[in-house]
Each structure stands twice: as structure tokens, then as C-alpha cells.
Amino acid sequence: MSKRGENIYKRKDGRWEGRYRKGRDKEGRIIYGYVYGKQYNEAKEKLSKKNADYSIYGEASAKEEMMVDEWLHYWLNILMKNRIKPSTYSNYRGRIKRHLSPFFKNKQLSELETSDIDRFIYSLYLSELSSNTIRSIISMLRSALKKAVNDNKISKNPCQGVILPPLMKTEIKSLDRKQQKKLEQIALYKKECSAEIIALYTGMRIGEISGLKWEDIDFRNNRIIVKRTISRIPSVTESHKTEIIIGKPKSINGERAIPISKNLKRYLMEKKQKSTSIFVISCKNSFTEPRIINYRFKKSVEEAKIGPVHFHALRHTFATRCVESGIDIATLSKILGHASTKMTLDIYTDSLWETRRSAMMVIDKQLNYDEKITL
């Protein structure tokens, strides 16, 4: 047996074997190295030398420099994997595989400079990625390198000071009242509960609707409790395959209670009486994944003849109707599960134009231009 903490063992052939942490592979698994000696002290001396060459955490020391690609995989698979949602992990893993690893594969972490990040951003431009996607990739890279600074792997974060493309405002498309009416006429006559009706009158996301159970609807207190979401992401274990993930909503604010009105309550209660599934939107007596909800939605859109519309437009339609009805932004932000009212304002600033114009008309009444003021 070895002495506590030494990792030195006597082999069956009589030699002594010492084991040390040599590094980590791209998936974050520890790579071990071994030393041997005829005597215990010989093996111990060799092991001490190897341990001096490698850090206690198994990353390469100055004698064997860590590459940028190695650090990114270590950061994601060891430091972040258990701290972020599976969908976020899959998103980060895809960015590293598609963009970061190919560009920085031959770059040592300690040699990384701001000019390298600038060239990387330019390469993303040439790939015709959107400005928002580029900013998102650099934001993730900045976080990974910030940890490298904190762990004394590099002296400063080379992402600091880079010039990012301007944040582009995403065009918010919602249905007008005529289009909404046509879609509702199709949805209301469905035998099963309609995901479209829930989206139009609660503003819930497609993944949240997919994960909604009847037990989440409190008919006594007239509210829906949003506490899970279902999504399909690239498989972590098998390439070119996807897997279903059932998890918590998009953010802390995503876990919320949404009031339900009288008409929506009547609609949901009627559908519950006929349902045999624990899920509100069911498929083969189980949940209906977002991909199937989208498929059903496209058929309804074609039948309603309202042109190409994405399911997420229903959430925007709900928000637009709320703004048009004079609901305050703080209340709308809570219903939608946004992280802040600023996010709601940034997204629906165009929808608020009529509200702002009405406010100016109220103030304008105080100014009577026809009055002649004499001094």
C-alpha cells in the first residue's frame, strides 16, 4: 500500500510505481503519468520531480504550455458544466467546436493577445455571422479568459479593449388583430388544447408550453405556475444526434406565476375534462416537444392563410396587445419572465410608440396657443 497522499505503490514485479497528474484531455478527463524505481526512495524522488513540473490541478506547467483550445475545454467541461443549464452547455460546446477551436488550435494560452481576438472577430465577420452572434461568442470567450486570469494562467484578459460590432436590434414581428382572429378561429375548434391559444393569452415560450402540466394550473387562484421547459439540443454523447432536455425555465425570472382570465380559464377547464394526459399539450399521452408544436402550428398558419409566421411571434403578439391596452411595462415584464424592465422596453420600444404619442397629446392640452398673453 502507498502512504497517504503519495500515490506510490509496490508492483507485483517488485518495482515501485508512482502516479502523477500530467494534464487533461479535451473532454476534461485527467491524464496520468507514471514513474518507476527499484527502490521506494528512487520512485519517490522521481515522482517529486514530476509533481514539481506539473501543477496540482493537472494542467501543464510552464514547461509544458497549455494551448487556448485545451483551456477552453477545461473551462467548459470541468469548471462550468455543472453550473449551467444543459442547453447552455450545448450552446457553448457548439461555439467552441465550430469557431474557437479551429481558429486558436495552434495558439498557446500565454501568448494570446488582443490582436488575436481582433483577427478572430474579423474571421467571424467573413463567416457572415450576425453582429449579435459575434458579440455572444466573444462574451463567452471573455468569461473563459477571465477565469484564466484569476487562476494565474495569463496576466491579463486579451478580450478587454476589443472593438465589438454594434448590437443590432432584432425586428419584432407580431400578428395584427385580423391575423390573430383568423388563427384563433382555427385554434379554438381543435379537439385538443391549443398551444397557440395559450401563447396568445399568456405570452409563454414554446418550451414552457411544451412542459406545462395540468397540475401547474391553479384554477382556484386563477394562475399558471411556470416551472419547467422542454427543449431539443445537440447530443452531448453522440454526434449528429439530438436529445430532449426537461429543465427549469430560461432564467430565474422565468419561474413565475401568470394570472389567467375568465375566458382562458373556461377554455382550459373544458380541455382538462377531456384530457387523459398529465401534460396540457399532449402527444401520445405524454408531453409534446417544441418541434411537434411547431409542426402543428405551421399547419394552422397555412389553414388560416396568414403567411409565414414563427411560433415565437405569438409571444410578441401577446405583449403587443398588452402594450396597446395600456398595461404598464413593469407588469408586462413580470408576466413575460424578463430579467428586467429594461429588457422589455428594449424589445417592445416600437409597440410603445402609440402609448408615447398619446402621452404627448395629453400634455399638449396644457398649451393653448390661441390664447393671447399680454404683459
Query: 332 and 262, same structural domain?
Result: yes
Query: 187 and 253, same structural domain?
Result: yes
Beta bridge partners of 99: none
Q: Identify whether 221 is part of a domain.
A: yes
One digit per residue, pLDDT tens: the chain, 375 residues?
555 447 888 888 889 998 887 776 656 667 778 889 999 889 888 888 777 666 544 444 443 568 999 999 999 999 998 888 888 898 999 999 999 999 998 899 989 999 999 999 999 999 989 999 999 999 999 999 999 999 888 989 999 989 998 877 767 788 989 999 999 999 998 999 999 999 999 999 999 999 999 999 999 999 999 999 999 887 766 667 788 888 888 777 778 999 999 999 999 999 999 999 999 999 998 999 999 999 999 999 999 999 889 999 999 999 988 888 888 889 999 999 888 888 787 777 666 666 666 667 767 776 766 655 554
The interaxial angle of helices 177-187 and 290-304, nearest 10 deg, is 110
- Chain mean position to CA 53: 39
Query: 251 and 103, same structural domain?
Result: no
Report how far apart the first and last C-alpha atoms of the chain are (Å, whole number): 105
Query: 266 and 144, same structural domain?
Result: no
Q: Identify whether 253 is part of a domain.
A: yes
Single pTM value for the model: 0.69
Give the range of the structural domain holding residue 49, as residue numbers without chain letter. Answer: 8-53
Q: Please count the structural domains in the chain.
A: 3
Cβ atoms within 10 Å, residue 117: 22
Query: 146 and 19, same structural domain?
Result: no
Query: 334 and 216, same structural domain?
Result: yes
Q: Identify whether 265 is part of a domain.
A: yes
* Pairs from 1-7 (Cβ < 8 Å, separation ≥ 24): 6/44, 6/47, 7/47
Query: 44 and 77, same structural domain?
Result: no
Query: 270 and 145, same structural domain?
Result: no
Burial 158-185, CB ≥16 within 10 A → b, else e: bbeebeebeeeeeebebbeeebbebbbe
CATH number reported for the structural domain that contains residue 78 in this entry: 1.10.150.130
